[in-house]
Amino acid sequence: MEPDCRERGCLPSRYHIVTFIIKYRSILHDRTMSCTIIVGGFFGDEGKGKIVAHIAHQDRPSIISRGGVGPNAGHTVCIGEKEYGVRMVPSGFVYPESALMIGSGVLVDPRVFLHEVDLLGVRDRTFVDGRCGVIEEEHIARDRASRHLREKIGSTGTGCGPANSDRVLRTSRQAKDVPELADFITDVAQDVNSALDKGETVLLEGTQGFGISLYFGTYPFVTSKDTSASQIAADNGVGPTRIDDVIVVFKAYPTRVGEGPFSTEMTMERSHELGIEEFGTVTHRQRRIGTWDGKMARYSAMINGCTQAAITGIDRIDPACFGATDYGQLSKKAKDFIAQAEKDIGKPVTLISTGPEMSQIIDLRGDL
């Protein structure tokens, strides 16, 4: 009975109920309305999750939708004492009033997705585009058994490469073919464009980083898709003319996991001296660490169509800046670093992260 009735338009869908509640609440707040893309400017793990979480709380988007490859991504968000690592659900989940979506370009691993929605308690406001490609157990097995992917490229072993290759061969299943995902299916492109038509705010969340883009990165040591801002828009079915801002996130000390060239890489001993060891969210592998790469930052900003930049980990440039929330609290060393980064990027640095917690940030977007 119910699906028939819903098709005839007598019953509002779960999406319409959720967005009605969100919109009703948002009318009470005076929000800026726009479509913003957030992407990583180096090799991934720049702290996009934290930036998204902060912007979501400030800008109150009605929808936060994910682009990017799939569950090879790991986003860490710290709120208070709690640390969340997410791989499928948008990292903006920490903002409780947005609908959370996964765009049709993204690969969905139903096991990872279902585990996360329950763990995070976001089942009622999370949606998946029916056209998403599906990662099967077999894709994971192929990824892990492949010497090329696992050893030469250093893949995350999450099945993304084989699943994207089956998608290109047009043999893979789509999210709408998976019964366990039935409750979550929507047309993300339609929902996002309708929200923008209504003047609502939308955040499009990128994953990975520019340097591991299949098109622009250090091929063959890259992931299985482009990772630039245009791809994130395409993943969500949003045309380039609808994007207002592209925030590219750069890490003061860039990192790389897996194999491949890394021109500013430092020795393990040096990173140990600096006290900046890092381990991956998904694979727990130790990340390689480098110094700021101005040339890469400029190239990445250009191809991403950067309008504003975020710098994370400024407290590693100068530990005295840890936790600062005001530009005036930054030391000369940190300010000089940011001035040089702005010169390299060619766009203003409007967000400066000073620690892992969501509130440890300087937001200069209002000064633009």
Choose from ligand IMP, Mg ion, none: what does 258 bind? Cβ within 5-8 Å by kind.
Answer: ligand IMP
Distance of CA 65 to the CA centre of its chain: 9
Nearer to ligand IMP, 96 or 220 (CB): 220
Q: Is 45 a catalytic residue?
A: yes
Least distance in angstroms from the C-beta of 209 to Mg ion: 9
Phi-psi region of 228 (alpha: psi -120 to 50; beta: other; left: phi over 0): beta
Strand order in the sheet with 361-363: 185-186, 126-129, 99-102, 63-66, 202-205, 35-40, 245-251, 308-312, 349-353, 361-363
Nearer to Mg ion, 280 or 294 (CB): 280
Choose from ligand IMP, Mg ion, none: what does 186 bind? Cβ within 5-8 Å by kind.
Answer: none
Site for ligand IMP in 319-358 (CB under 6 A): none
- Are 338 and 57 in contact by the 8 Å Cβ rule? The answer is no
Instruction: Note whether 158 binds ligand IMP by CB under 6 A.
Output: yes
Choose from ligand IMP, Mg ion, none: what does 153 bind? Cβ within 5-8 Å by kind.
Answer: ligand IMP
Nearer to ligand IMP, 244 or 278 (CB): 278
> What DSSP assignment string belongs to 126-191?
EEEETT-EE--HHHHHHHHH-HIIIIII---SSSHHHHHHHHHHT-S-BGGG-GGGGGGEE-HHHH
Distance of CA 222 to the CA centre of its chain: 17
- Are 56 and 195 in contact by the 8 Å Cβ rule? The answer is no
Which member of 18, 36, 45, 63 binds Mg ion (CB under 5 A)? 45
Site for ligand IMP in 224-253 (CB under 6 A): 224
Which member of 37, 38, 153, 330 binds ligand IMP (CB under 6 A)? 153
Which structure tokens are listed for 244? 């207002």
First to last CA, the chain: 53
Least distance in angstroms from the C-beta of 207 to Mg ion: 7
**Other CB atoms within 10 A of residue 3 CB:** 8
Binding segment toward Mg ion, per CB under 5 A, in 39-47, 126-134, 163-171, 236-244: 39-47
Per annotation, catalytic residue among 4, 16, 30, 45 = 45
Which structure tokens are listed for 276? 């900046």
Q: Is the dihedral angle over the CA atoms 249, 118, 83, 262 positive or is it negative?
A: negative
CA distance 179 to 155: 29
Site for ligand IMP in 188-217 (CB under 6 A): 207-208, 212
Residue nearest to ligand IMP (CB): 258
Residues 6+ apart with CB under 8 A from 311: 250, 251, 252, 337, 338, 341, 349, 351, 352, 353
CA distance 94 to 231: 24
Binding segment toward ligand IMP, per CB under 6 A, in 58-66, 69-77, 130-138, 317-325: 69-77
Nearer to ligand IMP, 223 or 304 (CB): 223
What are the counts of helices (DSSP H) followed by strands (DSSP E) for the chain? 13, 16
Least distance in angstroms from the C-beta of 196 to ligand IMP: 27
Per annotation, catalytic residue among 54, 59, 75, 245 = 75
Instruction: Note whether 156 binds ligand IMP by CB under 6 A.
Output: yes
Least distance in angstroms from the C-beta of 45 to Mg ion: 4
Least distance in angstroms from the C-beta of 155 to ligand IMP: 4
Site for Mg ion in 72-101 (CB under 5 A): 74
Instruction: Note whether 46 binds Mg ion by CB under 5 A.
Output: no
- Are 366 and 63 in contact by the 8 Å Cβ rule? The answer is no
- Are 252 and 122 in contact by the 8 Å Cβ rule? The answer is no
Least distance in angstroms from the C-beta of 125 to ligand IMP: 24
Task: Return residues touching ligand IMP (CB under 6 A).
Answer: 44-45, 69, 72-74, 153-156, 158, 160-161, 207-208, 212, 223-224, 257-259
Catalytic residues: 45, 75
Task: Return residues touching Mg ion (CB under 5 A).
Answer: 45, 74, 281
